[in-house]
Amino acid sequence: MGNTDKFEMIAAVYDTPERIQIAKESSDAIRTYLVDAKSKNAIDFGCGTGLVGMNLVNDFHSMLFLDTSQNMINQIKQKISALNIHNADTLCFDFEKESLPNFHADYIFMAQVLLHIHDVELVLSRLFDVLNEGGHVLIVDFNKNEKITSDLVHNGFDQAELAGMMSKIGYRNIQSQTFYTGSKIFMGHDASMFILDSQK
């Protein structure tokens, strides 16, 4: 995944009040789309320090925190240990480099992760393969923002274009909505965030 080196460096200081607040908004939005999650297995994809997943870990039967940055994973391991959480595991893995053939989940969610992924379609295709039949991928990210130009990240996403790409892959029952607007939350610019729910 893109920008892993950067995340390796900032892992220990990642949990700022602003990121914690946005993670709470994101996890609350994800929670509204969950159905019978207590019996389901989830992957927090591109979990970072687990700010979103930790808010949701008790909503699921089990959760795998997955990230390309080992230092981020180390932060999660400390949290899991400190909080004595028994239904969570961690994995350092890069879906852009290879697929996970023997791995399956009922829910995969990613918050502010897609904008760091170079080949969006490839990764969403590989996640589709990991989903159990009827499973959901939930994406939280920024709406497209023309004010932002960066070589490191996408400048957000058009919800309809993203839904079209996912439909082509095979996702169905795709629905999305903008749920949060904040000041200077995306590379120093005011921005809005959407949540997209899709099913296999």
Domains of the chain, with CATH numbers? Answer: 4-199 (3.40.50.150)
Biggest CA–CA distance in the chain, Å, is 44
Identity of the amino acid at 63: M
pLDDT of residue 2: 62
pLDDT at 66 over 60: yes
pLDDT of residue 23: 96
Q: How confident is the model at residue 99 (pLDDT cuts 50, 70, 90)?
A: confident
SS3 123: helix
Number of Cα atoms under 13 Å in the Cβ half of residue 154: 18
pLDDT: which is higher, 194 or 96: 194
State the average pLDDT over residues 165-172: 98
pLDDT at 3 over 90: no
Lowest-confidence pick of 7-21, 48-62, 117-131? 7-21
pLDDT of residue 6: 75
